[in-house]
Amino acid sequence: MRKIFKSFLTKRLIAVILFYIPINNINVQASNFLYERDENYKKAESLVEQEKYEEALNYYDKLIDVWSDYHTLHISRCRVYEKMQNYKRAIKCYNKIIKIFPKQHSVYIFQGVALGIDDQNLEALKALNKSIKLEDYYLAHFYKGKILAKLDRYKDSIIEFDKTISLDPDNYEAYFEKATVLNYLQRYNESLEALDKSILLNPDNNFSYLVKGYVYQNLNNYDKATQMFDKVISMNRSLSYLACDAKGYNFIKTKNYATALEMFNKAIEINPNEHKAYISKSMLCAMLNDKDGAIENIDNAIRIQPEDKSLINIKNNLLKN
């Protein structure tokens, strides 16, 4: 039973970290665009901030009627659909822009990111490759690396993150993403080195400390792992549930099961709508031969993530034993 859970958790580690951070906004707004002085632009931006997206789209349409030559304005309109988490509409929007501005590399980057979020990963790669062909820009390589990791092409993704770093040496996110992949490939010392560089460039990125804790866990250095998780808890409450969950695993490894249970319960208290801690708690119950508790907690995980078939497999295996 432990092997079942270990396989599940290891398989998802890279997904939790690589794609937990929302895709960053790609800054297309260079200064001094003439349309930025237009009152309709100011109104559109204000409406987006207020999450009144349909109204904002109407104002962007008015702007485009006047300033249609600016591809950045078209992109800003498509970004509204992303704010709405309607990526299929965003993709259609980018397709229209490409017909108007087929040589603008940045449009393909946005299209590729939206396709990747919509799990159209092969199409995302095509878009990003088109962008790179037009201009060897660091962001295209960065997002290509993320998509390749989603496709389990980890060595190829490292090549793209290295290319990102060569074009943008101060890109802490590229070092971070590279580190998560290296950790998954069990290249732990290289992962720590990349994380140290990421932290040096941005010491406020709490995800770097979280992943560093995971790497130390994989090296069986639970004291250092706990130090990293405690740092995350002190820095960011929104991430502290992941750190509490990870600390619980530390206590399992040191056979302090009561404290492990406390950590999993704390993680659930902080974020009751996140399924990961329920999986960990179910694992602990199974280890302690508490079959009812194991099933109850995996049921909670299934309730939160009903589309995840691997959780059903875990429950079925629990029922067999």
Please name each of the domains of the chain with its CATH number. 39-134 (1.25.40.10), 136-204 (1.25.40.10), 220-321 (1.25.40.10)
Q: Which two structure tokens, joined as six digits, stand for 320?
A: 């067999």
Phi, psi of 268 (to 5 degrees): -70, -40
* Residue 35 pLDDT level (bands cut at 50, 70, 90): confident
Which pTM was predicted? Answer: 0.85
Q: For residue 138, what are the contacts with CB-CB under 8 A and spacing of at least 6?
A: 163, 164, 167, 168, 171, 174
Confidence check: pLDDT of 13 > 80: no
Mean pLDDT confidence for 15-24: 44
Residues 140 and 161: beta-carbon distance below 8 Å: no
pLDDT score at 237: 74
* Residue 26 pLDDT level (bands cut at 50, 70, 90): low
Give the tens place of pLDDT for each residue, 158-215. 999 999 999 999 999 999 999 999 999 999 999 999 999 999 999 999 999 999 999 9
The fraction of the chain above a pLDDT of 70, given in percent, is: 90
Give the tens place of pLDDT for each residue, 54-105. 999 999 999 999 999 999 999 999 999 999 999 999 999 999 999 999 999 9
* Residue 17 pLDDT level (bands cut at 50, 70, 90): very low
Q: How many residues does the chain have?
A: 321
Give the number of other CB atoms < 10 A from CB of residue 27: 9
Cα–Cα distance, 160 to 144 (Å, whole number):
7
Residues 279 and 7: beta-carbon distance below 8 Å: no
pLDDT score at 9: 46
Residues 233 and 244: beta-carbon distance below 8 Å: yes
pLDDT score at 30: 46
Cα–Cα distance, 157 to 138 (Å, whole number):
13
Q: For residue 248, what are the contacts with CB-CB under 8 A and spacing of at least 6?
A: 259, 260, 261, 262, 263, 264, 267, 277, 280, 284
Cα–Cα distance, 273 to 264 (Å, whole number):
13
pLDDT score at 236: 74
Confidence check: pLDDT of 153 > 90: yes
